[in-house]
Structure 1
Amino acid sequence: MICFFWWMILLGKSSVQLLAQEMAEMETHMDIGVSTIDITPDHPIRLAGYGAREKKPSEGIIHQLNAKALAFGRDDQGPSILITVDLVGIPAIITAKVTKRITEQTGIEASHLVICASHTHGGPEVGNLLNILQYRGDTFSDSLLKLEELVEISRYTERLTDQLVAVALSSLADREPALVFWGQGRMGFAKNRRTEGGPVDQSFPLMKITDPTGNLKAILVNYACHGTTLGGDVNQIHGDWMGEAQLMIESNHPGVVAMVAIGCGADANPYPRGKMEHLRLHAQEVADNVEQLLTSKLHPIIQPPSGKIKWINLPFAHVPSVPELIAQTEDKTVRGYYARLALDRIARGQDIPKTLSYPVQTWTFGNEMAMVNLAGEVVVDYSQRLKKEIGADKLWINAYANDVPCYIASCRVIREGGYEAESSMYYYDKPSPFAEEIEELIINTVHELLPPSF
């Protein structure tokens, strides 16, 4: 203490003030890197999302598709990377490959990497929903996709892995001191598609990144709504309202990178929908809300995220036996098509899984905000429950994160049945609906991973 006292005297008053100022700035600044890469297919390719879409490759481009990355924190803090992709989903196998390569090159572990899909229904198939592409209604064929279609999908997914690694590493290389803020607004174009007037999450969280002088560098937003403004009659590559919103935000702020993630909107559709004018209408609402939030009082974030991840096993309600599958093949819906695929696997010596390996991830930015990253198409009940139990004022929830294996229905939705709980599972190559207990398993895991301050 005495040595420090004499050191300050030797430095002089002005030097001490400068040192104090620099130390204060270090406490409020966070190293942030931003990067983007074009992931638009360079050839026609089958698009994912709609079973009713014509069974042929894409025909033109409305929006370029992108992957964008935010890197948080210095090397000595243990950096984290958040990637958004303009795709219907991200398969776990791609996330695992990307994570392995990034870990090998940087030491960043899976808990500190998240890939969030926008869930556009105008992006290429990447392996989540091949059953939708193959199933052809009550006259379905047992044949695979055409060889040229399989080749193009395989080439695209292989290239995508390289691109996601590249954009992540580029964001790390771009890191510079920055200021980070967050806040929440509200939007209103999402409507519950299961029940008229049913629950939706209208919250609109925003993260703002500027350089130390306040110049805007990047914006990350989130809304819980499907990317289904344009229907299956549109066979052109597009990013739906999420892609259009990114373009509008970046047009309003040249040089800024805009990123969109999706919340628990598995049972919510945009309204109105079906036309390009509706897509622009929703994107404009997003862009307008961004402008309002940018000029409002936002909460500073001064610590990079501390990440945790845990894989849990979600049980299916019932795994059919071989006799049951044989009988199920008479079903002319996708349920019968799944039974044929399951019997083929069994004949090859493979087992039908009884559970789904499911990642739950949390990022805590000090005590300022908790970000929960959930895999799959998560229904709104999870958001409502977590915000009630943890507090909506400090919670940000990304669904479609790290994997999109299927819909993640709640206990209520499973009991009600319908597309999200049952028939969608066969499109996603799953043997049955989930057991009702999955809601408690997921919610309890989120609580387990979050620190007591939340």
Structure 2
Amino acid sequence: MKKNRTIDRRKFIQSLSTSAFGLASVRVFPSEKTAWNRGENAFGLSGKSNTSHDAGWQIGIGKAVITPTNGVWLAGYGRKRVADGKIHDLWAKVIALKDAVGRRVVLVTTDHMGMSKTIYERLFRVVQQEFGLARSEFMLAFSHNHCGPCLEDDLVDYYPSDEKQRAQVIEYTAWMEKKVVAAVAEALANWQDCALLHGEGTCSFAVNRRDNKEAEVPEMLAKGLPLKGAVDHYVPVLAAKAPGGHYLAVLFGYACHPTTLDFTTWCGDYPGFAQINLEENYPGTAAMFFNACGGDQNPLPRRKVELCKKYGEMLSTAVEEVLRTNMQSISPVLSPAFSYVDLAYEELVDLEKLKPIASGSRPLQARWANRMIKKIEAGEKFSNRYPFPVQAWKMGKELLFIGMGGEAVVDYSLRFKQEFPQRTWVCGYANYMAAYIPSRRVWEEGGYEGGPHLDEYGHPAWRWSGDIEDRIAGAVAKTVKQTQDTG
């Protein structure tokens, strides 16, 4: 019975990802004309739009270069990777939104691989104290870029770090946090009137890495053979348009690992190139990226800079096509909510099972096991629950933006788009990096994203409990209801 239920669920998810829900088309105006000739209003919106939505929003924008200047290593891949230069700078970017009654939310996006709970909590305490932001009003989103720097308390056992490198990581993290806070202050000090618009396009380079062998993908693509597995090729686009008709900011997302590159040069991977393209093509616009539920998605083929540029161009082109369509305006009402849900572990570690791992041949697991042993011998009692962050921002009646901590697989995005009536977007790398977040389907299938991998993320366990999707879905539904109750 369990096997049949898993197969049925898998077919359901794949039918969503390959149907109109997963490959929505984008309609583009046949020609570019001036806003005046098109009969648009002061915000550059068509007269067919609901003009009551066109006013009432304000936006603040902040930016900071966060490219390391010390000797911190590059994050990802579990190796010592010393930087040898940069292709382009890394950024922290901020948009603050204010609705018609003055309610605010702040989104920070960064070109980092992961964000630890330590950093998130530290940043939240500062923005709460300095700017009066509630937890529900602040979201920290990281692109999961593997050509960015290591950060404090993120994947602490993953790298073969020595004391000097750990000091460099702490030094960079403190410097970066000050940059982020300054960018938030900049955004909150410089409000501009705007219309807020939303739309969606598609982009096709993300491949389900669980169901397609990387070495076989180039030949399959060359032959036009269909790839397997669930995908989410949506490109969500949120745009802020000034009264003069130009774009102040463009926030866009995509569900895919930024792992095109595997070298020792600072770079924002395909999201970095996409943002650069948009800011060059729309001067004066702040382009910002969020990673959707791409935990089981890779850009394939990969490992070449020209492919990274190609994917960045594909993504920015998809965004520009959306910007040229008749995007839908959003009424100026914000309703944010935040909650934690306790995720259960399948089994906690103990000394008996840790000791052979601590002296084993796998360096990462040995470092983790030895750290866990020290904690146990020091008298620490591990909790069998982990606090997982869930966030929701309802924007008017038109858009629901959900934030989830960790590397959620694509099933979550496909599910929530079906469960909620308004247009729904899911940011899968929000606030801090919990670990891979499997759906029930992926958990039952096992493999890297669904199996015993929590040791890599520093948890005192190997695997989540099998009810992880039910727990998260219940928390998301509860959090979304809170936005409806307060909106």
Range class of TM-score, shorter chain: 0.7 to 0.9
Task: Give the corresponding residue for 2:70.
Answer: 43
How far does residue 168 in structure 1 lie from its aligned partner after superposition? 1.0
2:314 is paired with a residue of what secondary structure?
A: helix
Match of 2:187 among 150, 164, 171: 171
Match of 2:415 among 385, 401, 408: 385
**Range 175-184 or range 323-332, more displaced:** 323-332
Contact 2:70 2:172 (C-alpha < 8 Å) held by counterparts: no
Match of 1:150 among 151, 162, 166: 166
How far does residue 340 in structure 1 lie from its aligned partner after superposition? 1.8
Which structure 2 residues correspond to residues 33-182 of structure 1 after superposition, within 5 A? 33-51=60-78, 53=79, 55-73=80-98, 77-126=102-151, 127-134=153-160, 145-182=161-198
Greater Rg, structure 1 or structure 2? Answer: 1
Q: Provide, for residues 66-94 of structure 1, a one-character-per-residue CA deviation record: whole Å limited to 9, x for no partner.
A: 00001110695221101100100221221
Q: Provide, for residues 83-136 of structure 1, a one-character-per-residue CA deviation record: whole Å limited to 9, x for no partner.
A: 1001002212212111111111221101000010011000100131222212xx
Which structure 2 residues correspond to residues 333-412 of structure 1 after superposition, within 5 A? 333=362, 334-391=364-421, 394-412=423-441
How far does residue 151 in structure 1 lie from its aligned partner after superposition? 1.3
Match of 1:207 among 235, 238, 243: 238
TM-score (normalised: structure 1)? 0.88
Aligned CA distance change for structure 1 residues 236 and 406 (closer, same or farther; 3 Å): same
CA distance in 2, matches of 1:324, 1:152: 33
Contact 1:49 1:129 (C-alpha < 8 Å) held by counterparts: no
CA distance in 2, matches of 1:278, 1:89: 23
Contact 1:57 1:149 (C-alpha < 8 Å) held by counterparts: no
CA distance in 1, matches of 2:280, 2:123: 31
Amino acid at match of 2:201: G
How far does residue 176 in structure 1 lie from its aligned partner after superposition? 1.3
Contact 2:292 2:428 (C-alpha < 8 Å) held by counterparts: yes
Aligned CA distance change for structure 1 residues 264 and 56 (closer, same or farther; 3 Å): closer
How far does residue 255 in structure 1 lie from its aligned partner after superposition? 1.6
**Range 416-425 or range 250-259, more displaced:** 416-425
5+ residue gaps, structure 2: 1-50, 213-227
TM-score (normalised: structure 2)? 0.82
Amino acid at match of 1:208: A
Task: Give the corresponding residue for 2:450.
Answer: 421
Amino acid at match of 1:174: N
How far does residue 346 in structure 1 lie from its aligned partner after superposition? 1.1
Contact 2:269 2:308 (C-alpha < 8 Å) held by counterparts: yes
How far does residue 253 in structure 1 lie from its aligned partner after superposition? 1.2
Aligned CA distance change for structure 1 residues 75 and 296 (closer, same or farther; 3 Å): closer
How far does residue 215 in structure 1 lie from its aligned partner after superposition? 1.3
Amino acid at match of 1:31: Q
CA distance in 1, matches of 2:293, 2:148: 20
CA distance in 1, matches of 2:183, 2:99: 17
Task: Give the corresponding residue for 2:352.
Answer: 323
Which structure 2 residues correspond to residues 295-306 of structure 1 after superposition, within 5 A? 295-306=324-335
CA distance in 2, matches of 1:299, 1:318: 48
Amino acid at match of 1:429: G
Contact 1:335 1:423 (C-alpha < 8 Å) held by counterparts: no
How far does residue 61 in structure 1 lie from its aligned partner after superposition? 1.1
How far does residue 49 in structure 1 lie from its aligned partner after superposition? 1.0
Amino acid at match of 2:185: L
**Range 116-125 or range 35-44, more displaced:** 35-44
Q: How many residues align?
A: 416
Contact 1:190 1:224 (C-alpha < 8 Å) held by counterparts: yes
**Range 172-181 or range 408-417, more displaced:** 408-417
5+ residue gaps, structure 1: 1-23, 135-144
1:28 is paired with a residue of what secondary structure?
A: coil
**2:258 is aligned with 1:227:** yes
Match of 2:479 among 434, 449, 454: 449
Amino acid at match of 1:387: K
Amino acid at match of 2:339: K
Contact 1:44 1:59 (C-alpha < 8 Å) held by counterparts: no
RMSD over aligned Cα atoms: 1.9
Contact 1:369 1:395 (C-alpha < 8 Å) held by counterparts: yes
How far does residue 384 in structure 1 lie from its aligned partner after superposition? 1.5
How far does residue 229 in structure 1 lie from its aligned partner after superposition? 0.3
Task: Give the corresponding residue for 1:284.
Answer: 313
2:94 is paired with a residue of what secondary structure?
A: strand
Contact 1:79 1:304 (C-alpha < 8 Å) held by counterparts: no
Aligned CA distance change for structure 1 residues 395 and 26 (closer, same or farther; 3 Å): closer
Contact 2:61 2:187 (C-alpha < 8 Å) held by counterparts: yes
Aligned CA distance change for structure 1 residues 331 and 409 (closer, same or farther; 3 Å): farther
CA distance in 2, matches of 1:336, 1:149: 19
How far does residue 205 in structure 1 lie from its aligned partner after superposition? 0.3
Task: Give the corresponding residue for 1:217.
Answer: 248
How far does residue 146 in structure 1 lie from its aligned partner after superposition? 2.2
CA distance in 2, matches of 1:418, 1:337: 22
2:442 is paired with a residue of what secondary structure?
A: helix
Q: Provide, for residues 262-321 of structure 1, a one-character-per-residue CA deviation record: whole Å limited to 9, x for no partner.
A: 000000001221100100110111111122111101110122431100011101110022
How far does residue 26 in structure 1 lie from its aligned partner after superposition? 8.6
